[in-house]
């Protein structure tokens, strides 16, 4: 069972003393979508990613449980991160989801949920992922499988330089 870590005291990405270029969890590409679900990257290395979402009242459906779309988005993002780890600080890899299958196995009542994704195979331009999502109690609430494509220039672990934002 994967233990969900407690919330950090501070956000290292926005810490003025923090050096994001040398942080293995730093993604140099902005993803405003992640703020909608309070996504946090917990672990990221070649072929593997753990991503956490915090589901609140705004994420509930009419039945009073977390909407499946929140869980599906978490699966999609964790799967992508697993295949997009980059070995060169300041560079990034980009990709797109071609196909995503999801099985919901238990309702999510809210709070922290964690998706653990791994790359299970790849070709020249595609990679395949498997994802397991657990709630704070460690219950498997969903699983997923994805097929993804690396965007041109992202096929290798070195990725490509990220253009400055501004």
Count up the domains in the chain and report the number: 1
Give me the domain span that covers residue 141: 34-154
Q: In CATH, what number is assigned to the domain containing residue 99?
A: 3.10.129.10
pTM of the model: 0.83
Q: Quick: pLDDT tens for 94-133.
A: 999 999 999 999 999 999 999 999 999 999 999 999 999 9
Token digits for 65?
Answer: 């449980």
Secondary structure of residue 155 in the 3-state scheme:
coil
C-alpha R_g of the chain: 16
Residue 62 included in any domain: yes
- Residue ranges in the chain whose pLDDT is less than 50: 1-2, 4-22
Q: Are 53 and 12 in contact (CB under 8 A)?
A: no
Residue 4 included in any domain: no
Residue 24 included in any domain: no
Residue 102 included in any domain: yes
Within 13 Å and on the Cβ side, how many CA atoms surround 98? 10
Residue 86 included in any domain: yes
């Amino acid at each position: 069972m994967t233990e969900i870590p407690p919330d950090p005291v501070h956000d290292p990405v926005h810490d003025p003393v923090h050096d994001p270029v040398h942080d293995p969890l730093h993604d140099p590409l902005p993803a405003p979508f992640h703020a909608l679900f309070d996504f946090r990257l917990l672990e990221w290395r070649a072929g593997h990613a753990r991503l956490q979402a915090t589901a609140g009242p705004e994420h509930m459906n009419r039945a009073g449980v977390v909407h499946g779309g929140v869980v599906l988005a978490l699966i999609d993002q964790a799967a992508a991160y697993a295949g997009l780890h980059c070995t060169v600080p300041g560079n990034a890899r980009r990709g797109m989801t071609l196909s995503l299958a999801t099985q919901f196995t238990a309702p999510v009542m809210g709070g922290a949920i964690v998706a653990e994704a791994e790359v299970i195979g790849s070709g020249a331009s595609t990679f395949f992922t498997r994802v397991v999502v657990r709630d704070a109690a460690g219950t498997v609430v969903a699983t997923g499988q994805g097929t993804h494509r690396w965007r041109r220039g992202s096929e290798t672990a070195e990725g490509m330089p990220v253009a400055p934002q501004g």
